[in-house]
Amino acid sequence: MFTFLWRRLLQGLATLLTSSFLMYLLVSVSIRPLQDLEESTARNKAQLIAARRQILDLDTPVVMRYVKWLGNAVTGDLGTAWRSGQAVNDKLGGAMLSTLQLVGAATILAILFGVAVGIISALRQYSAFDYLITFVSFLLYSLPAFWVAVLLKQWGAIGFNTFLADPVQSWTSILVAGVVLGLLWSLAMGGAWQRRLLTFVLALIATVGVLFYLWASDWWSSPNLGPVLIAVVGIAVAFGVTTLSTGLRHRRSLYSALTVVALGLALYTPLQYMFAYVTFNWLITIGLGFVAALSGYLVGRLWGGPDWAQSARTAAITAVIIATMIFLDRVMQVWPDFFGSQAISGRPIATVGDATPNLGGDFWVQTLDGYTHLILPTISLLLISFAGYTRYARASMLEVMGQDYIRTARAKGLSERTVVMRHGFRNSLIPLATIVPLDIVALFGGAIITEKVFGRPGMGQLFIKSLYNAEIEPIMAYLVITATLAIGANIVADLIYAALDPRIRVNA
C-alpha cells in the first residue's frame, strides 16, 4: 500500500513537472505581452518595447525562463503579475477561498440531490418518473452554463429581489406549486394508485400548508426557523434518517435519534446566549459541528444494545442536521438588519462579487452576505453537475440491482429497505466514489464561466484576467494548482476504489 502510494506520488510529480513545462511553452506562445505597444503610435515605441522586453526577460530563451520560474516556484515564490505589480501569492489566497466556497457548496448539493434522485429513478425504471428525470437531466446537460448564469443574473435575481421587497404570494401560485410538488412526489413514491393518490394529497396539503404558513407569518421579511419549526422538522428528520439508515423497526436508533432532537432543542436557548457572547469564526463553527456529531455518537452509544454502532451512526447524522438548522436559524436572525442595511439598499440577492463592500457587521452578517452572494452562482453550477450525478447514480444503481447478490438478498427474505440501502445503494456508490474527485476538478474548470458571469474574484476569474493581460505568472500558478488537484484527485480515486472494492488489487 505504502509503496503504491509512494510510486503514484512520484509519478504524479513527474507528470506535474512535464505538464508545467508544456503549459509554460504553450502559454508563452499564446500570450502577446507586447501587443498594446506594437499597436501604439507613441514616438518612442521602439524604446518602450525594448524596456518591456527587458522587464519580462523576453530575450532569454523560453526554456531558460521556465527553469528560472520553476526554481522560484519550488521555493514558494510564484512571481509577480507584471501589469499590476502584485505578487501572485497574495492574489491566490483570496481567490482560492472564493472558488472553494463556490465549488464546495455546488458539489455537496449536487451529490446529495443527484445521487438521491438518480437512485429513485433507477428503482422506478421505465416509470413516468424515470422518463421525466431522464429528460430533465438531458436538458440540464445540454444547457450552456453561461446562458443559465446570465438568465439567473438578469431574471432570477431581479425577480427574487422584487419579490423579497414585497413578499406577496397569490393563492394561484401556492396551489400550482402544491399540485406540481404533489405530482412529483406521487411519481417518485410510485406504488399502486391508492398509494399514489395518498402521496399526492399529502404532498399537496403539506406544500400548501408550508407556503401558507410562510406567507401568513411574514416569513419572507423576517425568515427564521425558531424552536417550533426546528422541533417539527427535527422529528421528521429523525424518522427519515432512521428509516434510511437502519429501518424503523430498529427501536434503539429511532430513540437515539429522537433523543438527539430533544437535546438540540434543550440546548437551543443556551446556544443563543453563546452565539451572542462568543465572537464566532469558521473554526469554531466547524468545531461545533464535530462536537454535535460526537455527542450524537455518544447518545447512540449510551442507548446501548448489541448493535449500538447503528444507533450511533443514525444519531450522529441526525445531530449534524439539527446543528446545521440551529446554525442557519442564527444566520437568519440577522436578516432584518441585513435587509435594512444601507449597503444592501433593498436588493439582497447579489449578482456581482462574493461580498458586499462596506457592509460591516459581525460574523453572522458576513456569513449571510456570503450566502446571498453564493445562491445564484451555486444554482448555475449545481444544475449541470446535478444532471451528471443523476445519470451516473442511475446507471450504477441499475447495474447493481441486476446483480445476483441482490436476487440472493431478496430470496433470503430481507426487507426491501435492507436490499436497497445495504446491498444496492452501498455497492452503487463504488463507481460514484471514483468519479467524485475527478468531477470536482472538472467543476473547478467550469467555475471559470460562472465566476466570469457573476464577477466573483475566484481562481477562474484570475486565470481569465491574466490571460487577457498577458501575465504568465498568475496563469502558471492557476495551471499548476489545477494540475496538482487533478493528479491528487486521480490518486484519491484509485485509493477509494481499492478501499471500497477488495477485488481491485493495488499492485504494490
Nearest of 111, 112, 116 to residue 321 by alpha carbon: 112
Cα–Cα distance, 480 to 486 (Å, whole number): 10
How far apart are CB 301 and other proteins at their closest, in Å?
31
How far apart are CB 146 and other proteins at their closest, in Å?
5
How far apart are CB 49 and other proteins at their closest, in Å?
20
C-alpha cell at 297: 455518537
C-alpha cell at 446: 467550469
How far apart are CB 366 and other proteins at their closest, in Å?
30
How far apart are CB 475 and other proteins at their closest, in Å?
8
DSSP-derived secondary structure letter, 87? E
Q: Name which of 137 and 259 has its Cβ closer to other proteins.
A: 137
Q: Name which of 129 and 308 has its Cβ closer to other proteins.
A: 129
Q: Name which of 141 and 215 has its Cβ closer to other proteins.
A: 141
- 3-class DSSP state for residue 269? helix
CB atoms within 10 A of CB 7: 12
Determine the length of the chain.
Answer: 508
Phi and psi for 87 in degrees, rounded to 5? -75, 140
CB atoms within 10 A of CB 429: 19
Helix residue ranges, H only, 31-165: 35-39, 45-56, 62-74, 88-123, 128-141, 145-151, 157-165
C-alpha cell at 363: 460574523
How far apart are CB 491 and other proteins at their closest, in Å?
11
How far apart are CB 249 and other proteins at their closest, in Å?
15
How far apart are CB 486 and other proteins at their closest, in Å?
4
DSSP codes joined into one string, 214-229: HHHTTTTTS---HHHH
Q: Name which of 14 and 176 has its Cβ closer to other proteins.
A: 14
Q: Name which of 203 and 476 has its Cβ closer to other proteins.
A: 476
Beta partners for 87?
80
By CB atoms closer than 10 A (0-12, 13-18, 19+), residue 130 is buried
- Give the binding site for other proteins (CB under 8 A): 15-16, 18-19, 22-23, 26-27, 29-31, 123-127, 135, 138-139, 141-147, 150-151, 154-155, 190-192, 385, 388, 391-392, 395-396, 398-399, 401, 416-417, 420, 431, 438-439, 441-442, 444-446, 448-449, 452, 463-464, 467-468, 475, 478-479, 482-483, 486-487, 490
Q: Name which of 178 and 424 has its Cβ closer to other proteins.
A: 424
Q: Name which of 297 and 425 has its Cβ closer to other proteins.
A: 425
Q: Name which of 179 and 485 has its Cβ closer to other proteins.
A: 485
Cα–Cα distance, 394 to 373 (Å, whole number): 32
Q: Name which of 320 and 430 has its Cβ closer to other proteins.
A: 430
Strands 80-81 and 86-87: antiparallel
How far apart are CB 357 and other proteins at their closest, in Å?
22
Cα–Cα distance, 159 to 409 (Å, whole number): 51
Phi and psi for 27 in degrees, rounded to 5? -65, -40
CB half-sphere exposure, 168, CA atoms < 13 A: 2
DSSP codes joined into one string, 175-234: HHHHHHHHHHHHHHH-SSHHHHHHHHHHHHHHHHHHHHHHHHTTTTTS---HHHHHHHHH
Q: Which amino acid is at 253?
A: S
Q: Name which of 135 and 405 has its Cβ closer to other proteins.
A: 135
How far apart are CB 211 and other proteins at their closest, in Å?
28
